Amino acid sequence: MFWFKNAIIYRLTKSLNWDLIQLQNQLSDCSYKPCGAQDMSKFGWISPLRDSDLLYFSVGKQILLVAQKEEKILPTQVVNKEVNSRISALEQKEQRKLKKTEKQMLKDDVVMNLLPQAFSKNQHTALWIDTEQNLIYIDATSNKRAEDTLALLRKSLGSLPVVPLAFANEPGTVLTHWVTQNSVPDWLMVLDEAELRGGQEDSVIRCKKQPLEDEEMLSHFQQGKIITKLALNWEDNLSFVIHEDCTLRRLKFADVIREKNDDILKEDFAQRFDADFVLMTGILSQLTENLLAEFGGEKQREQ
């Protein structure tokens, strides 16, 4: 199962029709196909569940999609060495310096010749659609990767009206208040890792394995620094790092959670996948609801 390690969350600004038969047809038009001999990369949908022809996995109001990106790896050193060799040989033969456009043509030719021999790197990105709450969660380590996956979904559906989820109250201000005023919500525990920015020197302070209430850290707060990243633990469910842009990174579900469905036989992969997906989405949905309540709800956007 694709246990999310990150969650970049988006709000659907308009309810969409999630008819699963129609969705399958739409996703099929953008399904993943392996790189051909002359392709640098390929990007498309694959089945979340192995040995299934469906390009989605659905339980109740929750839908899981997985995008696969294949990229050919051509080491710059290898390409440059071959290009320079060809440039030198041609310049010597013709007794003249090659133009910039000619060098680029040589480089393109080298790349095309090397591509069939190049190794591939594959990257999978899971996207979960909560059709009940009109939220989309993407397990991505960067905003670009998330936006690329959204762009693929938009291309598949024809339109996708989304905006990043934003809290009404500034996360940095709220997180800083929690730590400095010892007012962390009862259901959360602050871990000894954070990033602070701003203040008089406008510098960045990163701390790890250091209590945030010690004198050194308090002095940074007194200088006007605010928390932009904070590691938290939610009871026996999971730990995570919340960022000032409302994204959740380094999600780590507790062993007691990941082992909750261990009574399901390993041979019954589909049933275990189903149970784990229900468990994960339930926890993350509750976490999102709790965080929205703590940060004053959702930021209202201009219509």
Per-residue pLDDT tens for 163-186? 999 999 999 999 999 988 889 999
One-letter amino acid of 132: E
Q: Is the pTM of this model over 0.85?
A: yes
| pLDDT of 212 | 76
Report the range of poorest mean pLDDT among 88-97, 128-137, 244-253: 88-97
Report the range of poorest mean pLDDT among 168-172, 173-177, 203-207, 247-251: 203-207
Cα–Cα distance for residue pair 159/173, rounded to 1 Å: 35
Mean pLDDT, rounded, of the chain:
91
Q: How many CB atoms lie within 10 A of CB 163?
A: 11
Residue 139 tokens, joined:
């397990």
Contact criterion met (CB below 8 Å) for 25 and 55: no
CA dihedral 83, 86, 88, 90 (to 10 degrees): -140
Contact criterion met (CB below 8 Å) for 185 and 294: yes
Residue among 27, 300, 40, 296 nearest 174 (CA): 296
Can you list the alpha helix ranges (DSSP code H) found in 158-201? 171-180
One-letter amino acid of 300: Q
Cα–Cα distance for residue pair 141/245, rounded to 1 Å: 13
The enclosing H or E element of 103 equals helix 100-114
Residue among 51, 57, 71 nearest 2 (CA): 57
Which has more pLDDT, 114 or 25? 25
CA dihedral 48, 51, 53, 58 (to 10 degrees): -40
For 57-113, what is each residue's pLDDT tens digit? 999 999 999 999 999 888 888 878 877 888 888 878 888 888 888 888 888 888 888
| pLDDT of 33 | 95
